[in-house]
Homo-oligomer: A and B are copies of this chain.
Amino acid sequence: MTKTWNHQVVKEGNKSLVLDKIKNNSPISRAAVASQTGLNKGTVSSLVSDLLDDQLIYESGPGESSGGRRPVMLLFNDLAGYAIGIDIGVNYLLGVLTDLSGNIQLKKECSFKNLSYEEIREKMFSTIDSLIASAPESPHGVVGIGVGVPGVVDKSGEILLAPNLKWRNLDLKSVLEEKYGLPVIIENEANAGAYGEKRFGAGQECENIIYVSAGIGIGVGLILNGSLYKGSNGFSGELGHMTIQVNGPKCRCGNEGCWELYASEQALLDTAVQSGLFASTDEELDLPHLIQLAESGNEEAIALFKKSGDYLGVGINNIVNTFNPQQVVIGNRMASAKNWLSESLNERVANQALWFQQNDLIIGFSELDTLPTALGVAAFTIENFLSVRMQPQQAIFS
């Protein structure tokens, strides 16, 4: 039975419209909302009254008159509730508590190495516990938990495979839902990052954004026509395993010549070892040190980054030719080497991407530091909460 259209759907849609308008243009008067959305003044008044009842918005003092009665300004009530976003990395766990606009209220981070699933889960529990405990009193409280994982998540939210964590077939969603009694969203780290970039990054107006999460491996999140594209089973964006060299070196995925064998952090570190920049047993074998080397003028390190940037460009060319996006954002750990990658990357793209693709195309690095994923899952949670709140609330009998 397909979804039919009725009065409730209409109201839901318009309420959403009004709330969005207020969120994005606050402070704004009812009259302005009406004229800008095309809705009738009366309709807006009625919907606004609903939203006020739900404490999702509030009235501030009167605004400036423009030659008549002074308007009552409406504002989105950021603090009507809070969301939790967790980013599980291969060797870190990052948790944020955000308000309903995605502003970070609190950030908790910890690093680790080679922990088991159970150990990481406990760390996550304690992070969530303390974030919930520190959430201020609010009408709606903590509205949900979002978790980003470096692995493959199917449509039901089950983690099928997270190779770098050695996780397989884990139903983390149910675990969290049962423990906290809150809505839980589990999402691939790159998908979440893409959404984080769309909502809080540079291109909030863009409808088509490709987020390249370049870390130990490479994953890609696709925002197409304004929303996340997940594929038939939720496995889209495995572009790290796109072949860029036919019959190239073997990848652990079974394929050959995969992009991430050339452009990932792992690839960079491997070539650094090969070129003798580090001993393979070297304790300091990591990206920050390599960046330090480049900054101190080490020619060899600079050349390595240049090569990496070039390879990044190759894959991004493919992305551009495939999606014709408005924006490509490179995030995750490799983004910290922005200064050393961008020249060769841009050169590769400028020289080799189809000319007509290059109009209005922005290629850049994430400015959200390590946060896109955590912010992205928090944003999913918030969006989910708000969409539920747009629906008519059944009366509560006591």
Contacts and interface: CB of A to CB of B under 8 A. Distances in A.
Interface stretch (A7-15, A117-125, A140-148): A7-15
B38 A242 contact: no
Nearest to A209: B232
Contacts of A254: 351-352, 354-355
In the complex, which range does the number of interface residues on chain A fall in? 35 or more
Interface string A162-198: 0000000000000000000000000000000000000
A314 B1 CA distance: 40
A235 B1 CA distance: 36
Contacts of A262: 246
A224 B229 contact: yes
A5 B1 contact: no
A167 to B, nearest CB: 14
Contacts of A233: 324, 356, 359-360
Given A2-B38, A208-B232, A246 B17 contact: no
Contacts of A352: 243, 254-256
A360 B355 CA distance: 37
20 contacts: A1-B37, A4-B39, A5-B11, A5-B14, A160-B356, A206-B232, A208-B231, A225-B225, A225-B229, A231-B324, A233-B359, A236-B322, A236-B323, A239-B318, A239-B321, A241-B321, A242-B317, A244-B245, A254-B351, A255-B354
Given A2-B38, A208-B232, A233-B324, 20 more contacts: A4-B17, A4-B38, A5-B13, A229-B323, A232-B326, A233-B356, A234-B324, A235-B324, A235-B354, A235-B356, A235-B357, A238-B321, A238-B354, A239-B321, A242-B322, A245-B245, A246-B314, A255-B352, A256-B352, A318-B318
Interface of A: 1-7, 9-11, 13-14, 17, 36-39, 152, 160-161, 206-208, 220, 224-225, 229-239, 241-246, 253-256, 262, 311, 314, 317-318, 321-326, 351-357, 359-360
